[in-house]
Structure formats: structure tokens, C-alpha cells
Chains A and B, each alone.
Chain A
């Protein structure tokens, strides 16, 4: 019982921290700090996945988003001239319409959340084996898997073409 309460407290605090980090992404004036906050938010989501017994998704989340995408983002920030400046304004004149549309969207989402019945099934704590993963990736989901590979190859070739200066 005490353990359950402890688990709940930790999950909620991770949630709160990732929300704070997500707010930081939007509010920090320096784009580098915003990127670091994004890292924090992504790690928070990964910890939530672990709490939900989805270790594979959690690990892939960290590997792809924190390890690869964020490194790329930060690299792009560093190589872009003066983008890290603190003087770039955070808001423009369209904040009122943006706020209105945001309120509409939040209202819609909220009503959907309230209407939906959230079915609670028995917990799946069975770990996913490499065998099952391989079967799924190259069996049931082979089409998206191959599409992603083609896109990646296209990206790689494109990068080489752009980088080559004849």
C-alpha cells in the first residue's frame, strides 16, 4: 500500500516536472535553453513509459529523441549565426488570436476527454522479447518499416548531395 502511494507520488512529480520543462521550451528567451528544456520534457516522457512497463518505447524514446534528434537540434542552433541571441523577441502581435484558438482547442479536447470512457484492462507486465519485436517489425509492420528506411536513405543521399561542392 505504502509502495503504491510512493509510486503515485513519483509518477505525478515526474509529470509535473516534464510539464514545467515543456513550459520552459516555450518561455525561455534563449533558444539553447529552450532546447535543453525540451530534452528534460522528453526524458520525463520516457520515465513515464518506464512507469507504464513499456521499457522498449522508453529506451527508443531516449535513443531517438534525446540521443539523435536533440543532438541535431542543438548542433543546428550552434552552427546558425546569432540564433542563440537573447534579443530575439518571444512574442508577436498575433498573441490574442492565438490565445483564442488555443482556448477553443483546449475546450474541444477537454470535452472529448470527459466524454470518452477510459477502459481499464489488466496490466500487461509481460516484457517484450527481441523475437516478438523482430517478428512485428518485419512481419506485421513491414510496410512502415521499409518506408522509413527509404526516407532515411533519401535523407542521407540528399545530405551528401548538398554537402558536395563541385
Chain B
């Protein structure tokens, strides 16, 4: 059961082996992995849109999509057909080539990062020894695609959205990278599979999140991940009430769908990476490994959608302040605490020291960042 999908692929390759030369089998093996990802990514995106609409509907005391299929399960397919048949509008002044390329380019990094995510035991497309930096590097290129789209649209709202995107993504990348350092320190490797394997003790429950530094790093990484996906409450790049739709204002039809596909696939991959780094990835008792991975990932996806249904949007200065004045110092302190954890002897002392340092710095940062609020407001009426 645990190795179901791995055995499936093996059986397929074994059945092809008599007919093909060695290289052919290797090639088919690569093609199988690639097509699994290429199907899984967009399919996940389709049903994430359905899931989000249902969930946000529930939060807002509505039912959500319920017309197409049972529980509206065919809604994503209907949406897809609608998107394909819609008129594709390009503004007159737009840079046509770049305008066309931008939504195509943005999907590439979103799909590429799937390749280093361990979906289960032995279920990773490429076990890259620098998998973690690969994920960060490839997802960093999303910025350029968003910029291309916003610039090529020749629209003020698009351009504003693009500038906001860059400011936000560049700021949140710094604490994001710093908050994955604790996991790398603890596992001693940059490979995603090794990091998951390092969390295998205690019957598959020795997750990094159960240590003080792991808990802090988990929250930091997850928050930065939400910001990297441009989702509420960090959605100022596409704030509907301020700049229409931000960078994708001038997109319609399938191009718009591609922007959305990239965003939802990013939601999935960021949740998956958070689960991999701090929630033990596919480790867990009883259930097969891929089931554990999916449960953890979808729980994190659910929290992201819950955020969207609950939290209002941050202001630009609050957003920047959160990244630079709160998340960044806390991430730096957390790296120190993680290294100290491995040098202090005895569990009790370790726990005491790290909780003390982290608690004190958390409290200190919250106090230092508290905005100035006058105690009593005096209203004077004009007479």
C-alpha cells in the first residue's frame, strides 16, 4: 500500500523492458514522472479552485458552486471550457509578444518545483542534492513573469500591481530563505528527501515542528509562503478594491486561467514544502506515506483558504514592516537557537534555553513594533 504508486511505475517499466533498449526504458521512466507531474499539477489547481469556492462559500454562509455535477464537482471543467471559449483581448498599446509570453512563463516555475517535492516514500521525481535551493531559486523567477505581464499590459493598474509584487516578493523571500535554514541545519542536507528522512524517529512523529525552533520556523516559513503566493492577507499585488486586479488586469480567457493556475499550483507547492520541512513530509504512523503527505499538505492549503475567508488585507507599510522588522529578526534569532540546540547537553536545558530566548525575542519584537496609538481621542465639533 505504501509503495503503491512506485510499484505501479515499476510494473509499467518492467512490462516495457522486453521491447525497448536500456536507454528507452530510462527515457520512458523520465516521461512517466514528467507526465505524472504535468497531469497532477493542473488537476490539483482545478480542484483547488472548487475547494476554495466551496470553503469560502461556507465561511460566508453560502453553499458555493452546486449546479454542475454533484456538489458542483464538475464546476472546474465547466470553468475550463468557458475560459477556452472566451474572447482573448489584448490592449491596443500592449507589447503583444511579452503580453502573450508572461502567462506562459509563469506556469513553468510553478510546475518545475513539483519535481523536488517528495510525495511519498520513494515518490520524488528528482532527488536533487540541492533540492531546497532549487525550489527557492525556481520560484523566485515567478517575479520576472509577473513583471513581464504587468509591464506589457501598458496599464497603470497593472504596472502598480507589478511594482507591489516585486516589493512584496523580494521582501518576503529574505525571511523565507532564513526560516528554512533551521531544517537544513537539523537534517544536515539540502535534499528534500533527506530532510524528511531526518524526521522519521518516534514512530514517524519526530517532526521538526515539535521543537521550539521548529515551531517558530514553521510559522515563519508558512507566513512567508502565503505572502509569496500573493494570497490574502498579503494580496496587495492584486488588491481588487484598490487596483482592479493588479498585474493581471488586462488578461482574459485562457491567459487569465494560466495566471490562476500558477497561483493555485504555488499554493499547493508552498504548502507541500512547509509540510516537508517542518511537518515531517510523508512521515507518520499507520497510514501510507503519500496519504500522510496529502493530509498535511491539504490541511495547510485549508488554512490558507481559511485566512482568505477571515482576514482583511494588510496595508503596504504594515506588510513591509512585518517582513523587515518582525519576521527577519526572528528568523535570524531562530537560526542561532537552532545551532545552540545541538550544542547544549540535556533535553531540559535545551528546552529551557531555547524557549527563553525565543519567548523573550518574540515579546521584545512585538513590543518594539507596537504602533503608536493615542490613549484617548478627543473629538472637537465645529460650531
Partners in one complex: yes
Q: How far is the CA of A92 from the CA of B60 in the complex (A)?
A: 63
Whether A55 pairs with B129 at a CB distance below 8 angstroms is: yes
User: In the assembled complex, how far is the CB of residue B329 from the closest CB belonging to chain A, in whole angstroms?
Assistant: 14
If the complex has contacts A33-B98, A39-B144, A67-B140, are A131 and B188 also in contact, measured as CB distance less than 8 A? yes
8 Å CB contact of B130 from A33, A36, A39, A56:
A56
A residues within 8 A CB of B136?
A: 63
Q: For residue B5, give the distance in angstroms from its CB to the closest CB of chain A.
A: 25
In the complex the two chains form, is A70's CB within 8 Å of B144's CB?
yes
CB contacts under 8 Å to B, within A109-129, are: 127-129
The docked-state distance in angstroms from the alpha carbon of A146 to that of B82 is 56
- For the complex with contacts A66-B141, A68-B170, A71-B170, 13 further pairs of A-B residues with Cβ separation under 8 Å are A3-B27, A43-B141, A56-B130, A56-B133, A59-B130, A59-B133, A63-B136, A67-B137, A71-B140, A71-B166, A74-B166, A78-B147, A128-B129
Contacts of A55 in B (CB 8 A): 128-130, 134
Does B301 belong to the interface (CB within 8 Å)?
Answer: no
Check B143–A71 contact: CB distance below 8 A: yes
Shortest distance from the beta carbon of B179 to any chain A beta carbon, whole Å: 16
**Residues in A neighbouring B190, C-beta threshold 8 A:** 130
Contact A78 B141 (CB under 8 A): no
Interface string of B174-202 (1 = CB under 8 A from A): 00000000001000111000000000000
CB A61 to nearest CB in B, in angstroms, measures 8
Report the bound CA distance from A56 to B136 in whole Å: 13
- Let me know if B138 and A129 touch, CB within 8 A: no
Closest-CB distance, B70 to chain A (whole angstroms): 44
Q: How far is the CB of B194 from chain A (nearest CB, A)?
A: 9
Q: Is the interface of B mostly helix, strand, loop or mixed?
A: helix
| B133 near A36: Cβ-Cβ < 8 Å | no
CB atoms of B144 and A129 under 8 A apart: no
For the complex formed, measure the closest distance between the CB of B126 and the CB atoms of chain A, giving whole angstroms: 10
Interface residues of B in 131-164 (CB under 8 A from A): 133-134, 136-138, 140-141, 143-144, 147-148, 151, 159, 162-163
Question: A41 at the A/B interface (Cβ < 8 Å)?
Answer: no
Closest 6 CB pairs of A and B: A67-B140, A63-B137, A127-B129, A3-B23, A62-B137, A130-B190
Q: Do residues A78 and B163 form an inter-chain contact, with CB atoms below 8 A? A: yes
Q: Which B-chain residue is minimally distant from A30 (CB atoms)? A: B95
Chain A CB within 10 Å — which of B21, B23, B134, B144 has the most?
A: B144
Identify the closest chain B residue to A62 (Cβ). Answer: B137
A163 vs chain B, min Cβ distance (A): 12
Q: Which residues of A contact B133 (CB under 8 A)?
A: 56, 59-60, 63
Q: Are B134 and A74 in contact (CB under 8 A)?
A: no
Contacts of B170 in A (CB 8 A): 68, 71
Question: Quick check: B23 and A2 within 8 Å, CB to CB?
Answer: yes
Whether the pair A71, B147 counts as a contact (CB closer than 8 A) is yes
10 A-B pairs whose Cβ atoms sit less than 8 Å apart in the complex: A55-B128, A55-B129, A66-B140, A68-B170, A70-B144, A71-B166, A74-B166, A75-B163, A78-B162, A129-B189
B26, B129, B130, B141 pick with most chain A CB within 10 angstroms: B130
Contact B137 A3 (CB under 8 A): no
Q: Within A51-94, which residues are at the interface with B (CB < 8 Å)?
A: 55-56, 59-60, 62-63, 66-68, 70-71, 74-75, 78
- Bound together, the chains give a CA A151 to CA B323 distance in angstroms of 23
Measured between C-beta atoms, what is the minimum distance from B16 to chain A in Å?
A: 16
Question: Which A-chain residue is minimally distant from B170 (CB atoms)?
Answer: A71
